[in-house]
Structures are given as C-alpha cells and as structure tokens.
Amino acid sequence: MVNSAVIDQHGAAPVFGLYINGEWRAAASGKSYENRNPARPDDLIGSFASGGTEDVDAAVSAAAEAFTAWSMSSPITRANILYKASEILASRVNEIGRELTREEGKTLKEGIGETSRAVQILRYYAGEAQQPTGEHYPSANPATLLYTVREPLGPCAIITPWNFPIAIPAWKIAPALAFGNTVVFKPATLTPLCAVRLTEALAEAGLPEGVLNLVTGSAGEVGDPLVNDERIIAISFTGSNEVGRQLKMSATARGAKVQLEMGGKNPAIVLADADLEHAVTNVINGAMMSTGQKCTATSRAIVDHRVADELSERLAQRIGALRVGDPQEEATQMGPLISAEAAKRVAGEIDRAKREGLTLLTKDGASTDLGDGYFVRPALFGGVAPDSRLAQEELFGPVLGVIPVDGLDEAIEVANNVRFGLSASLFTRDIGRALTFVRKIQAGVVHVNSETAGAEPQVPFGGYKGSSSYSREQGKAAREFFTQVKTVYLDPPPSA
C-alpha cells in the first residue's frame, strides 16, 4: 500500500488507485482499465483501478466505521477541512482544469471554469456547515425547551456522470461531508482522473480515514453492489433517466433515501420582440458549449414564426462557423464527444433526422479533418415538428432544432409537452410575458434572457417531471437531502 494516488506505472502512463480507509491501493482483483483523451485517443491519460465487490465492501465498511466519530465531530471542524480542500484545489485550478479538458473533452475555458466552480462549491459548503442546524419552537408547556436538530444520515453513496466530472462530485460530496455523513464515491468510468483530483484535495485537507472513499470501476462491478449494500443509507445519483429510475427502484425497495438528477430536453423560447442577437448568442452557448453534453443544454429553440427564418439563418451561420477541434488549443470553441460510442450515436441521430425529412441548416457531413477524435460537427435543424424524435428525446450532443410557433401560449404548450423539465429560457423584452412564462413553464431552473445552462451553487438545482426525483441539490436544499430531523422535548426535572 502506498500513500499516493499513483500506485504503479505502466510504461509512461501512471496507474491510479482506489482510496479506501485513508489509503490509496490497487483493486482487490489487481485489474485496471485505460482512460484516453477523447480528442486524441492515442493519448493515454493513465490506468485506473477496476474496483469490484470486494473493494466496495471494504469502502462501505470504512465509511460505516468512520461515521460515528465524523457525525459527532464539530461542524466547525468539518467546515475547516472543506475550506482547506477548497484552497488546495484553488492552488491547482489551471492544472486540474487542463486535465479535465484532456479527459472529458470540453474546452479549456470550460475545464478551468468547472474546476473553479468546484472550488466555489467547497467554500460554500464550508460556510453552510456553520449555519444553524435546527429550529426552536414554542411548546404547550411553557417550561419545555422544544426544538429540532438536523442530524446526518450515515454512509452515503455518491454516483456521478462524466459530463461535469469535478463540479457534480463536489456539489454532492461537500454537503454530504459538511452535514456529518461519510461517503463512498463511484465516479463515471470515463472520467476517473477528476475524481482522483477531488479526492486528493479532500484527503490532503485532513479528512479522517474512512470518511471519504473513492472506488473507480464499472457500473456493474462497483455501482450495483454499492447501491444494494444495506449499510448505504442514502444515494445521491446524477445521470441518465434509464439508470436513475432503475437504481431508485432497487434502492428504495430496501429502504434507502434516494436523490436523482437526470436528463433534460431544455427549451429556449424566442419571442418576436426579443433582442435577436442576444438570443442567438445565448441559444448557441446553451446548445453547443460542452459539445451539447450538459443536462441543461438547450436542445429546442421554440421561436415565434415571425422571426423564425431570420433567427434560423443567424444561428446556422454562427453554428457553422464554430471552431471544432482539440479542446486543449485555446482557439477551439467545441471539442469532441466523450466517447466513440457517443459520437456514433449522435451522428446516427443526425442521419435519422435527415432521413425523417427534417431540414439540416448547417453544413452537412461528418468531420474528416479532426484525426481519430470523437468529433461530430454541430447540427441545426429547421422547421422541426414538436412531436418529432429530435424534439422529444435527449440526444446529448451538439444538435439543436428550431420549432416555429405562434406566440407565447403555443410556445409554452410546446415547451411543456416533453417528459423532462430541467431548465428553460425565454427571450423577450416584455415583463408581462416573462412573468407568464415563469408561472406556466414546467422546469426546475428558469431563465429570462439568459441561456438554459447557467446554475449558481448557492441556489437549489433540479428538475420537474422526469428530470428529477422532486428533491433538489446545491444551496440550502442540500441539507434537506443529507440530513434527517430529530425533534427534542426537553423538560426540567420535577422540582424536589
């Protein structure tokens, strides 16, 4: 056993371990898997331990063992550790941001930006840990001290996707720890390096042994046994709807507390009175940043028919001019998809839309000049019917459809007519219409005159309908999920 995340070397590539009970170690099976740069698959980032049932068991045992002491520790102690972790991460923002770009494929600006967001989240929860933990109530008996206190749940499983490989783990792990829980963290198979970097920062900041455990590896070998372990009291999951729904069924059947944040099919409504240039910029940013691989990405532009042609033309021109390429180069505006499978799937969806008769407004054809990377050129479709597959399913790639409508009422009806409800935007100069939109739109995060993808860490985040499990993450909402309430009646003893 070694006390560094790098436990071995395969030629020039490092081999990263699991972090269990305060130690970096190889998987019990001794196996590891390769992680490659999606922009240049010949670039081997490293190998990562392939955890399995035995490792999950060890990690959960460590988290269970550490729980009593950690849950009884002072919130001020926890706050200090989180704050120190934020400082450690802050000192490495550029380096880790670059690694994020190399591993996930978003642009450098986004990679560094997301890492800075993780710093901000750790800082925020260092503050939240020091907020009041309960409420004082009047009692029918004037002598009774009647109050509530929020207490931690126990060992929690944190299961995260690859598309925000450091921010999402941070916004789950930080509140879990701040409020006194212990954690077993299973990151996405495709982005283990960011998970290692976050774990290193928290470990170096002084987390006691067993409080945070990282088990890299596959859904079947790590995810399943973790979800089904009776000692895991709560599970916070972000990922696809299919996996989330399945996971909830098995976890709630054994009585676990479960939080799900899942996909979206987010609309940007553009009314005829909107500042069109502002709308174009925000619709493109919402749709194409992170190569369209955000849960909050704009994937439907629902546009008043009076401006639909002009808006579509401007969108097509600007989207067609996006610089697609290696995201490690500063000038790149859009990187690759996360994997060969994802690129194939998204290219297939574009072909299917064309076969179904939708009009592709951007330049046609697969990328030919981008080497072996998993690139797909951004695609804009015009005149899209609201019930088409392109307008209904989360494609999770750089694909946008323009749906023409007649005014705000129809726009809201179309916007709401999907199974998702994560985020939504409206572009208008009319405050009355903005208020109507805010009231009627079925989405958990609502923007007026800004893109669908903005979310700040101090406010609740989550979706309506199929996008969520009706719980919320981030901000003060995280305390709801990661704690339970104890009600205390404290009466004086009878006087002698």
Q: Where do contacts with ligand NAP occur on this chain (CB under 6 A)?
A: 159-164, 186, 188-190, 218-219, 223-224, 227, 238-240, 243, 247, 261-264, 295, 394, 396, 422, 463, 467
Would you say 118 or 190 has its CB closer to ligand NAP? 190
Q: Looking at 110, 200, 221, 295, which residue is catalytic? A: 295
Residue 222 CA neighbour count, 13 Å, CB half? 27
- Amino acid (one-letter) located at 446: V
Q: CA geometry: angle at 181 spanning 178 and 184, to 5°?
A: 110
Nearer residue to ligand NAP within complex by CB, 224 or 273: 224
Whichever of 46 and 325 has its CB closer to ligand NAP, that residue is: 46
Between 123 and 186, whose beta carbon lies closer to ligand NAP?
186
410 counts as catalytic: no
Measured over all CA atoms, what is the biggest interatomic distance in the chain, rounded to whole angstroms?
Answer: 90
User: Cα separation of 16 and 214, whole Å?
Assistant: 11
Is the Cα torsion angle 9, 14, 18, 23 positive or negative in sign? positive
Give the shortest CB-312-to-ligand NAP separation in angstroms.
Answer: 25
Residue 223 C-beta: closest distance to ligand NAP, Å:
2
- Give me the least distance between CB of 70 and ligand NAP, in Å please: 24
Q: Which of 261, 349, 394, 473 is flagged as catalytic?
A: 261
Tell me how far, at minimum, the Cβ of 254 lies from ligand NAP, in Å.
Answer: 14
Q: Which of 455, 72, 129, 450 is nearest to 269 (CA)?
A: 450
Nearer to ligand NAP, 201 or 262 (CB): 262
Euclidean distance between CA atoms 117 and 90, whole angstroms: 10
CA gap 54, 69 in Å, rounded = 24
* Interatomic CA distance for residues 427 and 273, integer angstroms: 8
CB of 228 to ligand NAP, least distance (A): 9
35 vs 163, beta carbon nearer ligand NAP: 163
Collapsing DSSP states into helix, strand and coil, what is residue 56? Answer: helix
H-type alpha helices, 73-107: 75-91, 93-104
295 is catalytic: yes
C-alpha closest to that of 401 among 357, 359, 446? 359
Residue 381's H or E segment, with its range, is: strand 379-382
Q: How far is the CB of 186 from ligand NAP (least distance, A)?
A: 6
Which residues are part of the catalytic machinery?
A: 261, 295
